Each structure stands twice: as C-alpha cells, then as structure tokens.
Amino acid sequence: RFLRGWSRPLYLVVMLDFIIAQASTSWETPASAWVTVIHAVLMLLLASAWLAPAFLYLSAGLGALALFQWVELLGAPAEALSVYFSYLALGYGLVGYGVQLYQNARNLPVWLASWARPLQRSGLSLSFGVLFFTIVLGFDLATWTARAIFGMPFREIVAISTVQMTVSVFSLLGLLYLSDALVYRRIRQSYVAVGMLLVGWLLFAFFTQAWDGLRQVQWYAIPTGLYLLGVSALEWFTGSKRLARGLDYAALFLMLGSLFWQTLVLGWQFALLLGAAGLGIFLMGSARRLRRFFYAGILAVVLATLGQLINALQAVNQWVSFGIIGLLLVGAAILVERNLDDIKEWQESIEDWE
C-alpha cells in the first residue's frame, strides 16, 4: 500500500536519502550540523503534512542532535552544554504551551495544533536529562553551600562556572515547569517551579554576585519577577486566584528583597530604585484593588528610606545612632496616635479589596 500513488516512491527515496546522509556525514564539520538541521525541518514538514506526531518527536530529537553538534564544534565546556540544552527545552515547551493556549482561545489549523503535545513532551523529556546532568556536574555545590552555612572556608574551592551553570539551568527549567503547571493547573508543581527560581536567585546572589558587590543581582531578579507578575495576572483573570497570589508573593520577594539587599550594601542608587519600584507596585495595587500590592508598595518605600538611614547612621557614633532611631520611633508612635481615627477609616475603605 505504501507504493500506491505516484508520490509514494518519492517519499521512500527521501527516507533513504535521510538515513544515508545522516549516517555518512562527519560530526566534526559545520556541514554535518547543517545536514541535521535540514533533516529536522524536513521531519517537521512531513509531520505537519501527514499529522504524524512520531515525526514531530523525531524532528525535536534531531534539533537536539544539531545543537549538540554545534556545541562540539565550538569546543564549549560541559557546563555550557547544560545551559544550551536548557534553552532548547524551554523553547520547545513554550512553543508547545503557546500553541495549546492559542488553540483553546480560537481555532488553529489542524497541522499547527498537532504540534502542541509532542513539543511539550519533548521539552520536558529533554529537561529531565539536563537536570540529571546538571546535578551530576554540580554535585560539589552542596558541599560548598554546607561549608558556607557552617562558616568554613569555601571561596577558594568554588568553581564559578559550575554555579553559573546551576543558576541558568534552575532558572530556565523553573520557567518551563511553571508554564506546564499553569497550562494544566498543577498547583503543587507550580510551587516546585517557583522554588527552583528562588534557589537560582539565592545561588546567583550568594556565589556569583556576593564577591562583586551584588551589583548585577537585579538583572536576574527583576526580569524573573516581572515574568511571574505577568503570569499571575493571566491566572488572576482566568479565575486561578490561589495560584496567582503565590506567584505575586514570589515575584515581590524576588524584586523587593534583592533591591533592599543592594540598598544596604551599595547605597542610595539602589534605594532610589527600590523606592521607584515600591511606588509602581503601590499604584498597581491601587488600580487592581489588591491589598498585597498596596501594602508591598508602601513597605518598599519604607524599606528604601530605612536602608538609606541605616547606611547613613553607620558612619556616626553608635549612641547617636540609637538616639536618632529612638526619637524616630517615638515620633512615629505619636503620629499614629494623633491620626488613629483617620487610619481606621482608611483601613475600612480598603477592606473590600482582594
């Protein structure tokens, strides 16, 4: 039956050409990588034309093989290989989940809708292998962390490349698992995914940036926090309010915690950035009538002021510092007492907020 019709023998020739070309090319030349890329695209076209999921899995596997060939040609270390494959797994997953979400909202062509599950499963399968490979390569990270917790010397033995690999893999795969959890409403998995993002942030802040004055932490925390806030808003509007709250708290902790930490270490520039972030979050909470953002914005402004005050007081006499802090606390208590009725009225006005 395969030979019925004039096109069938041509497909047979294509398959034979695919096998011969893939088996005969050398892995040590750019041409071999291009051959694999072309075959991956060819399998994708056949899968779309025939609605054959098996060819989509084959295409995804060939894409991973092509990436491996390019990495080998570049002579990249094993740590870089894990990061590149994490990007590929995230890319497969995001395309698959995006197609499925778009399909739920409006009808897509059948050939495009057939991409969803194979790409999702290919991304997840690839991510499990990457995660196992990363744990093997980064096994010493647990020892370094334990030594740091118990105050033992550790900086001389830390390999920064291993830490950077772990941070990148945990961050990228955390986003992948979070996307999977949101699409299929897996609440517990979303907690694990957010936990991976937080672990990546802590490792990045402590091992990678602590020795450089923490100057680049916000470039990890702020984009990740904004991603979480965006996903939270989508979940909120679709009715998943419990999950949205958890994502909001994680995003606020990442962004505001990082900036407050930098304020204490680096000074007034990051205090201004923390105050600006707090003002933005305060306005967002007011617009969406969400108390957690409203209070978090106020807290961020207070922390920015407090952090800058602590930095200023560190340069003066200790007793003078205690005296100034005591006067501020007494003044704050008097201010609250004088305006207690107004505070109660204001609190009652936002009781109906979420």
How many C-beta atoms surround the C-beta of residue 195 within 10 A? 14
**How high is the pLDDT of residue 61?**
92
208 in Cβ contact with 189 (< 8 Å): no
* DSSP string for residues in 113-138: HTTHHHHHHHHHHHHHHHHHHHHHHT
pTM of the model: 0.65
Paired tokens of 295: 């209070």
Rg of the chain over CA atoms, in angstroms? Answer: 27
* DSSP label at residue 5: S
Sign of the Cα pseudo-torsion (57, 59, 60, 61, in order): positive
- pLDDT tens digits along 134-149: 888 888 887 777 776 6
**How high is the pLDDT of residue 78?**
82
Helix (H) or strand (E) holding 203: helix 187-203
CA-based nearest residue to 263, from 301, 225, 297: 301
Q: How far apart are CA 103 and CA 115, in angstroms?
A: 11
Q: How far apart are CA 86 and CA 128, in angstroms?
A: 10
Q: How far apart are CA 259 and CA 268, in angstroms?
A: 11
Residue 33 has pLDDT above 80, yes or no: yes
**How high is the pLDDT of residue 253?**
79
- pLDDT tens digits along 256-292: 777 777 777 666 677 777 778 878 777 777 776 777 7
3-class DSSP state for residue 271? helix
